[in-house]
């Protein structure tokens, strides 16, 4: 019996060689599945229990999959989609942090956010992307 437990760790490690493992997309699926499971406890939302189990099982399937190319393509697609949202929210977070020292304006031509220091009065702002010039008060 003692020999069984001493070799168990080695057998688990060798069994996991060549598997994909956990990545950002698997974590997202697992967290979403757990949230759906907890919401499924509520009587009117019991229909969420089935998608919750599907998400959790798929997350585990991804972790133990040997098709690494397909799993990394799924991860890349997930990161591309979430990158768009993270980029937008990071700009708004930076705007909130710098609200006392800088002001942000959007270029009317290319819609790029331009940062200018506060307290300079009326200034001409040149967009770094399209070179459009507009006058604003800081």
Which domain covers residue 124, as residue numbers?
98-138
32 and 80 assigned to the same domain: yes
Output the CA–CA distances (angstroms, integers) from residue 136 to 39, 74, 86, 118, 120, in the order listed: 49, 44, 28, 11, 10
| pLDDT for the residue numbered 113 | 87
| pLDDT for the residue numbered 10 | 81
26 and 86 assigned to the same domain: yes
| pLDDT for the residue numbered 61 | 93
Output the CA–CA distances (angstroms, integers) from residue 51 to 39, 54, 56, 63, 134, in the order listed: 11, 5, 9, 18, 51
Residue by residue, pLDDT tens for the chain (138 residues) are: 677 777 887 887 787 788 888 899 999 999 999 999 999 888 888 998 999 999 999 999 998 899 999 999 999 999 999 988 887 778 888 889 998 999 999 888 888 889 999 988 899 999 988 998 988 888
On whether residue 45 sits in a domain, the answer given is: yes
On whether residue 65 sits in a domain, the answer given is: yes
50 and 104 assigned to the same domain: no
| pLDDT for the residue numbered 26 | 94
| pLDDT for the residue numbered 137 | 87
């Amino acid at each position: 019996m003692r020999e069984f437990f001493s070799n168990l760790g080695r057998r688990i490690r060798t069994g996991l060689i060549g598997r994909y493992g956990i990545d950002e997309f698997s974590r997202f699926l697992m967290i979403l599945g757990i949230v759906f499971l907890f919401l499924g406890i509520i009587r009117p939302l019991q229909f969420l229990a089935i998608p919750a189990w599907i998400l959790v099982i798929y997350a585990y399937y991804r972790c133990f999959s040997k098709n690494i190319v397909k799993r990394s393509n799924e991860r890349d697609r997930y990161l591309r989609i979430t990158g768009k949202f993270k980029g937008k929210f990071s700009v708004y977070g930076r705007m909130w942090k710098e609200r006392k020292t800088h002001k942000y304006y959007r270029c009317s031509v290319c819609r790029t956010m331009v940062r200018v220091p506060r307290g300079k009065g009326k200034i001409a702002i040149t967009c770094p992307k399209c070179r459009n010039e507009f006058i604003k008060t800081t």
